Structure 1
């Protein structure tokens, strides 16, 4: 089988995308499979389900919404970023730098923005944070979907929205490589933590290859420490799927509070 690989999640700029691609190429060269690094030519839910997927990265929300039945977990990256604790991460609640809001509670009636309906960091954790504040299932005056964390940050910075929840790893990269955008927003809180975005493989990948991938992941950190620092990588954890049940708990807790969707 001819395997494919892609890392679609933390490509904040073209330069960072290239850095991740070079890192992935280094991982693959260490296990020497017949594998191509590709750009997904379909929506990610379909791509992640490809039977010849050797390695990619997904969000924990779609993982627990059914994807887990067709893939296996390789490892979860650990990042050096504010809001991360080992393999767990949270979202940063942001508003405009000059906005009047100083907490999520102060955003009642404001304009919220989020990236995707299937995002744990941008939607699910955000919904969970808002749920205790909502009244009759409502909190915000308006809600806009942008399609990406960068889109959400720019909507807040440009005064098209007032508050967003941004994956803390994404936000750390924005501070690194897009400092002018980072200066236009301000953190006013964080969401609850949950397991980070896992590296996955098709269920067809043999166990020996999964083990080789895990070894290669760690080798790339020690062989190129400067690159690991730029990518904010500190290690990898092998989490059981049961750890990702926390993501479903965030959803259940919000629904139990009567807040089923951002609004």
Structure 2
């Protein structure tokens, strides 16, 4: 079997994507030099389920909604970013820098943007934050699905939406790489925390190789401190799958409050 790998999640700019690819190549050379780094040519749900994925990264929401049956969690990165605590992360609630909104509660009747229906950081924790404010009714006047966190930021900046929830790691990278965008929005809150985006492998990867991958992650981190700083990496945690049940808990709390959908 020819192993493949890809890191599709935090490539905020082409320059940052290059650094992530260099990091991934370093990790793989320590584990399986013949593994091919690829650009997924299909939607990510299909890619993550391919039987020859040696290393990739997914969102926790699809992980707990069926993907966990076909993949193994290798490790969860710990990031140096405001809104992160250990291997947990939150989302930053943002509005335009010049808008009148000073809190999420003040956004009743405003327009929301979110990235994807299956995003924990862009949709699930956003829904959870709105749920106690909505009082079992529609909270926003319109909801726009943008396809990405950068798309949501641009929707807010371009006055196509008023508020969005942005993965705090993504937002930290935007501040680093695209400061002109970051300066056009203002933070008005932070969502509840949950485990961060896990690194995963196919169930076909032997357990011994999973352990070798974990060792390679830590070694690549230790030997390239400047690169780790650029990628805001503090290290990796081997979280049990049960920790990701926190994501379902947030979903269930929103549903119990009568707010099943971001509306």
TM-score (norm 1): 0.99
Q: Cα offset for 1:138?
A: 1.0
Match of 1:176 in 2: 176
Distance (Å, rounded) in 1 between the aligned partners of 2:137 and 2:79? 34
Match of 1:255 in 2: 255
SS of aligned partner of 2:73: strand
Match of 1:25 in 2: 25
Q: Give 1:179-194 correspondences, 5 Å limit.
A: 179-194=179-194
Q: Gapped runs of 5+ residues in structure 1?
A: none
Q: Cα offset for 1:40?
A: 0.3
Match of 2:96 in 1: 96
Tell me the alpha carbon deviations over residues 209-231 of structure 1, each in whole angstroms, 9 at most, x when there is no partner.
10110000001111110000000
Distance (Å, rounded) in 2 between the aligned partners of 1:208 and 1:22? 24
Match of 2:134 in 1: 134
Distance (Å, rounded) in 2 between the aligned partners of 1:30 and 1:52? 18
Match of 1:60 in 2: 60
Match of 2:86 in 1: 86
Match of 2:49 in 1: 49
TM-score (norm 2): 0.99
SS of aligned partner of 1:262: coil
Matched pairs, number: 263
Tell me the alpha carbon deviations over residues 169-199 of structure 1, each in whole angstroms, 9 at most, x when there is no partner.
0000000000000000000000000000000
Distance (Å, rounded) in 1 between the aligned partners of 2:33 and 2:58? 21
Distance (Å, rounded) in 1 between the aligned partners of 2:122 and 2:134? 18
SS of aligned partner of 1:147: coil
Q: Cα offset for 1:33?
A: 4.2
Provide the alpha-carbon RMSD of the alignment.
0.6
Q: Gapped runs of 5+ residues in structure 2?
A: none
